[in-house]
Amino acid sequence: MRLLSVRLIFSLILAITLVSLLFSYNQVLEEKRSLRTDLEHRAAVLAESLAGNVGPHLENGSIKKLQGIVEQFSNRERLAGVAILDTKLEPVAQSVGLAQWMQSQPSAVAQGIAQNQIQSVFVRTTNGRLHVYVLPLHRDGELVGELVIVHDASYIDAQIAHVWRDTFLRVLVQVFLIVLITVLIVRWSIAGPIARAAQWMRALRAGKVAPSSVAISESDLLRPLTREMTSIAESLAAARLAAEREAKLREASESSWTAERLSVHVRSKLGHSQLFVVSNREPFSHVHQGKSVQVIVPASGLVTALEPVLCACDGTWIAHGNGDADRETVDSHDRLRVPPEEPKYTLRRVWLTKEEEEGYYYGFSNEGIWPLCHIAHTRPIFRDADFEHYRQANQKFAKAVLEEMANTERPVLLVQDYHFALLPRLIKKQRPDARVAIFWHIPWPSSESFEICPWQRELLDGLLGADLVGFHIQSHYTNFLQTVDRTLECRIDWEHFTVNREGHSTLVKPFPISVEFPDPPSATTDNSPYEDRVTLLRELGVEALFLGVGVDRVDYTKGILERLLAIERMLEKNPTYQGKFTFVQIGSPSRTHIKRYHDLLAAVEAEAERINWRFQTAKWKPIVFLKRHCSHNEISRYYRAADLCLVTSLHDGMNLVAKEFIAARHDEQGVLILSRFTGAARELRDALMVNPYDIEHTADAIRVALEMHSDERTARMQRLRKQVKEQNIYRWAGSLIGELCGVRLDVSDRTQITDRATASAAR
Ligand code: F6P
């Protein structure tokens, strides 16, 4: 920067000096010319007027008179003297001061007589510059002498010297100002911003500032660089983040699973094959809203869990298209790419008639298997017709799956849930080369309980068609193995968790499902939970200090009524919380076509109203029941703003709400109250465990949560977050797919595989 300044200053000084000199030189020439002309003119005028006076006296030879005239004129300003000479150049009369100079016989004086012409010249003498004007004198046309007028012209040199001095001073002042201005401009507009930018880059390199804080934008000169610098900074930050993640991953070795790791893992496991998922519930449904079509993400733990997996691994998800605009949004093969905003995998929709849906989904799945598997004291209902629809629906889905797999060798299929107990065998019959797993998202009851299902053998047989059967927790898979043991002819290898039946081996294992664990939002976008709470409560028209949240499908297994009773009891026992604690229950209506669910929805509404009526004031009420489907973003706001989250399921396979709440608490605050009858209770040991049937105990847990010291709250939440982060959905999918791909297939003849694949596609 110093060299630049010196160069800049030097060049400016040189340029200014040259320009000034050029202009001054011109000015000097002009000035000199004008002064000389003026002097010459004055000399000529004086000579003419003197010549008139001198003429008669020269004629008369009156020397005295001539000397008088000469003396008289000699006193004029700047006149050095006057001389009158005859033709022999002898002085007739002359000023005293000129006598000595005239003796040197100046050439102009001699030339005046010799050439008989006016002479006007400037000569330099030891006393300075003189102007000599020589006017030849005539009488009757004859040269009789000459008049010499000599002016002191040294004032012209003085004047010129003055101009040069002014020029020098001007250049000096200009140079000073230029140097000053240059130094200041360089410092303020170039060196300063560059130094700040360099400092910022140093800090960025050291990871001490955010990429968004680019510090050079105030400088016009560097402004064009700001965008580039920002994107370089962002790339650097992203690269650093990726490197950090990578390093952490390496450090944690096997402990961390990310979308990227899963994607690489699945690709390496699948090779040239592909991943297929089948579930009843689709990840996106299209519904008419007014004249437009809206995309809805259904309230489903299964969808929450599997959607990130499909996004990471691509593949095809086959599901029931139940949105009223679903048919309008698929192609001729009933397929579409999703998620709609950034497609990453294929959704293949399967259509069911009203009767099929009634029998298979509402009937056998949700009035039969669902209550059979959940200990929630709702009696299962089994109807022949429902099972027949269940069988047909399984066949329909199997057909769709086989179509999708037709061009894939050794496909990998993940069947989801109790809606498809028959599907694994149907697939394996047609595609023995396929690796098939079924994951049972709900509990598996004891063998005695399961026995009451009239089609227990069919269900078990269908399930054991799979290469792998997965459950959330150990007790579910133990129950399953005992049920199989009691029901079917088979050999169970308890040591290796396998069931061997009719030459086929099925691995049975627990895989606790989880959620994605998102990175914390950037500081600028994340509001404080307290600001969010105030906004949320204002939107609900309630004033409260403390906020609790519950998020469920309105299902009798979720213990929502028990939860409301516990809140009522807490307010009874702790009146100080009246007017201060509000519980928001987000309840997405579910399966309302079934009377039990329809009645439950009404019961929850009535119970919330009853409790509110008992306690509410003008600005506060204890319970807000949001009876609607809420988007993930909306639910996240409640998760982040709440003091506590209540999960009081009477029985639950896992319960992903508990894990979602933990994943959302980037602030490491909030308390989870968790039913011990959920699968999640096995992992989330730092939640406050409750027995939802014990209203008194749950009420106390709510108070404990509200009054928990913030250090303990943080410590518990940190441990919970560590657990959910490590045991995330990518780990679940990674180990499930890893296990499945490690299973030895029963078929070895490749030709046979290809023949069957082609045949099944043709069917
Ligand atoms: O809990 C079992 C389960 O199938 C979940 O996977 C899912 O969250 C929920 O039930 C979905 O219910 P439905 O699809 O019937 O609305």
Does the beta carbon of 319 sit less than 6 angstroms from any atom of ligand 1?
no
Look at residue 146 and give its three-state secondary structure: strand
Q: Tell me how far the alpha carbon of residue 468 lies from the centroid of ligand 1, in angstroms.
A: 21
Q: Where residue 524 falls among pLDDT bands split at 50, 70, 90? A: low
Residue 470 pairs in a beta bridge with 439, 509
- Residue 747: predicted pLDDT: 65
Hey, where are the domains in the chain?
25-152, 275-350+392-510, 529-726
Q: Which residues contact 572 (CB under 8 A, 6 or more apart)?
A: 699
Does the beta carbon of 302 sit less than 6 angstroms from any atom of ligand 1?
yes
Residue 392 has pLDDT above 60, yes or no: yes
In ligand 1, which atom is closest to the CA atom of 304? 8
Per residue in 263-279, pLDDT (tens digit) is 999 999 998 899 999 99
Q: Tell me how far the alpha carbon of residue 183 lies from the centroid of ligand 1, in angstroms.
A: 73
Residue with the bigger pLDDT between 249 and 567: it is 567
Q: Where residue 522 falls among pLDDT bands split at 50, 70, 90? A: low
In ligand 1, which atom is closest to the CA atom of 280? 14
Mutate to test the pocket of ligand 1, among 364, 441, 473 (most ligand atoms within 8 A of CB): 441
* Contact assessment for residue 724 and residue 662, using Cβ atoms and an 8 Å cutoff: yes
Closest CA to 647 of 618, 594, 684: 684
Residue 752 exposure: Cα atoms within 13 Å on the Cβ side: 10
- Tell the residue nearest (CA) to atom 12 of ligand 1: 300
Q: Tell me how far the alpha carbon of residue 281 lies from the centroid of ligand 1, in angstroms.
A: 7
Residue with the bigger pLDDT between 628 and 11: it is 628
- Tell the residue nearest (CA) to atom 6 of ligand 1: 302
Q: Tell me how far the alpha carbon of residue 319 lies from the centroid of ligand 1, in angstroms.
A: 13
- Residue 254: predicted pLDDT: 61
Mutate to test the pocket of ligand 1, among 277, 281, 361 (most ligand atoms within 8 A of CB): 281
Q: Where residue 432 falls among pLDDT bands split at 50, 70, 90? A: very high
- Residue 248: predicted pLDDT: 63
Per residue in 28-52, pLDDT (tens digit) is 899 899 999 999 998 998 888 888 8
Residue with the bigger pLDDT between 545 and 95: it is 545
Strands 335-338 and 345-350: antiparallel
- Residue 62: predicted pLDDT: 82
Length of the chain in terms of residues written:
763
Residue 88 has pLDDT above 90, yes or no: no
Q: Tell me how far the alpha carbon of residue 411 lies from the centroid of ligand 1, in angstroms.
A: 25
Exposed e or buried b for every residue in 662-699, given b needs 16+ CB within 10 A? Answer: bbbbeeeebbbbbbebbbbbebbebbbbbbbeebeebb
Choose the weakest-confidence range: 178-182, 372-376, 521-525, 533-537: 521-525
Q: Tell me how far the alpha carbon of residue 299 lies from the centroid of ligand 1, in angstroms.
A: 8
Report percent pLDDT > 90 for the chain: 64
Per residue in 546-592, pLDDT (tens digit) is 999 999 999 999 999 999 999 999 999 999 999 999 999 999 999 99
Return mean pLDDT, the chain: 90
In ligand 1, which atom is closest to the CA atom of 366? 15
Taking residues 449-461, report their average pLDDT.
Answer: 98
Does the beta carbon of 281 sit less than 6 angstroms from any atom of ligand 1?
yes
Residue with the bigger pLDDT between 166 and 467: it is 467
- Rg (C-alpha) for the chain, rounded Å, is 53
- Residue 221: predicted pLDDT: 67
Residue 738 exposure: Cα atoms within 13 Å on the Cβ side: 12
Measured between alpha carbons, how far is residue 191 from residues 5, 204, 293 in Å?
10, 19, 58
The answer, yes or no, to whether the previous bond of 432 is cis (omega within 30 of 0) is: no
- Residue 2: predicted pLDDT: 74
Q: Where residue 526 falls among pLDDT bands split at 50, 70, 90? A: low
- Tell the residue nearest (CA) to atom 9 of ligand 1: 300
Q: Where residue 763 falls among pLDDT bands split at 50, 70, 90? A: very low
- Residue 752: predicted pLDDT: 45
Q: What is the Cα–Cα distance from 608 to 618, expressed in whole angstroms? A: 17
Q: What is the Cα–Cα distance from 160 to 27, expressed in whole angstroms? A: 9
Residue with the bigger pLDDT between 548 and 58: it is 548
Look at residue 295 and give its three-state secondary structure: strand
Q: Where residue 761 falls among pLDDT bands split at 50, 70, 90? A: very low
Please name the helix (run of DSSP H) or strand (run of DSSP E) that holds residue 689, with its range, or none: strand 688-690
Per residue in 348-385, pLDDT (tens digit) is 999 999 999 999 999 999 999 999 999 999 999 999 99
User: Which position has the token pair 């037709």?
Assistant: 406
- Tell the residue nearest (CA) to atom 11 of ligand 1: 300
Residue 293 has pLDDT above 50, yes or no: yes
Mean pLDDT is highest, among 105-109, 172-176, 240-244, 539-543, for 539-543
- Residue 218: predicted pLDDT: 59
Residue 90 has pLDDT above 90, yes or no: no
Sign, Cα dihedral of 350, 355, 361, 365? negative
Per residue in 655-681, pLDDT (tens digit) is 999 999 999 999 999 999 999 999 999
In ligand 1, which atom is closest to the CA atom of 303? 8
Q: Tell me how far the alpha carbon of residue 694 lies from the centroid of ligand 1, in angstroms.
A: 26
Choose the weakest-confidence range: 236-245, 380-389, 495-504: 236-245
In ligand 1, which atom is closest to the CA atom of 656? 8
Residue 760 has pLDDT above 50, yes or no: no
- Tell the residue nearest (CA) to atom 10 of ligand 1: 300
- Residue 190: predicted pLDDT: 79
- Residue 314: predicted pLDDT: 93
- Tell the residue nearest (CA) to atom 14 of ligand 1: 281
Mutate to test the pocket of ligand 1, among 553, 588, 677, 729 (most ligand atoms within 8 A of CB): 553
Q: Where are the beta strands (DSSP E) in 190-334?
A: 275-279, 285-289, 292-296, 316-320
Q: What is the pTM of this model?
A: 0.68
Q: Where residue 631 falls among pLDDT bands split at 50, 70, 90? A: very high
Does the beta carbon of 417 sit less than 6 angstroms from any atom of ligand 1?
yes
Taking residues 517-527, report their average pLDDT.
Answer: 72
Q: Do domains 25-152 and 275-350+392-510 have the same CATH topology?
A: no
Q: What is the Cα–Cα distance from 723 to 665, expressed in whole angstroms? A: 13
Q: Which residues contact 430 (CB under 8 A, 6 or more apart)?
A: 398, 402, 756, 759, 760, 763
Residue 220 has pLDDT above 70, yes or no: no
Q: Tell me how far the alpha carbon of residue 588 lies from the centroid of ligand 1, in angstroms.
A: 12
Q: What is the Cα–Cα distance from 651 to 34, expressed in whole angstroms? A: 116
- Residue 242: predicted pLDDT: 75
Mutate to test the pocket of ligand 1, among 302, 419, 471, 729 (most ligand atoms within 8 A of CB): 302
Taking residues 585-603, report their average pLDDT.
Answer: 98
Q: Tell me how far the alpha carbon of residue 300 lies from the centroid of ligand 1, in angstroms.
A: 5
Q: What is the Cα–Cα distance from 380 to 246, expressed in whole angstroms? A: 50
- Residue 217: predicted pLDDT: 53
Taking residues 118-126, report their average pLDDT.
Answer: 89
Which CATH number applies to 275-350+392-510? Answer: 3.40.50.2000
Taking residues 680-703, report their average pLDDT.
Answer: 98
- Residue 525: predicted pLDDT: 55
Q: Where are the beta strands (DSSP E) in 70-222?
A: 79-86, 91-94, 119-125, 128-139, 142-152
In ligand 1, which atom is closest to the CA atom of 653? 1
- Residue 745: predicted pLDDT: 87
Residue 706 has pLDDT above 80, yes or no: yes
Which fold, 529-726? Rossmann fold (3.40.50)
Taking residues 466-476, report their average pLDDT.
Answer: 98
Q: Where residue 110 falls among pLDDT bands split at 50, 70, 90? A: confident
Q: What is the Cα–Cα distance from 439 to 303, expressed in whole angstroms? A: 13
Does the beta carbon of 622 sit less than 6 angstroms from any atom of ligand 1?
no
Q: Under CATH, to which class is 25-152 assigned?
A: alpha beta
Residue 499 has pLDDT above 60, yes or no: yes
**For residue 714, how many other CB atoms are within 10 A of its CB?**
16
In ligand 1, which atom is closest to the CA atom of 370? 2
- Tell the residue nearest (CA) to atom 7 of ligand 1: 300
- Residue 250: predicted pLDDT: 62
Q: Tell me how far the alpha carbon of residue 663 lies from the centroid of ligand 1, in angstroms.
A: 20
Helix axes of 63-74 and 2-60: crossing angle, nearest 10 degrees:
160
Residue with the bigger pLDDT between 47 and 246: it is 47
- Residue 182: predicted pLDDT: 82
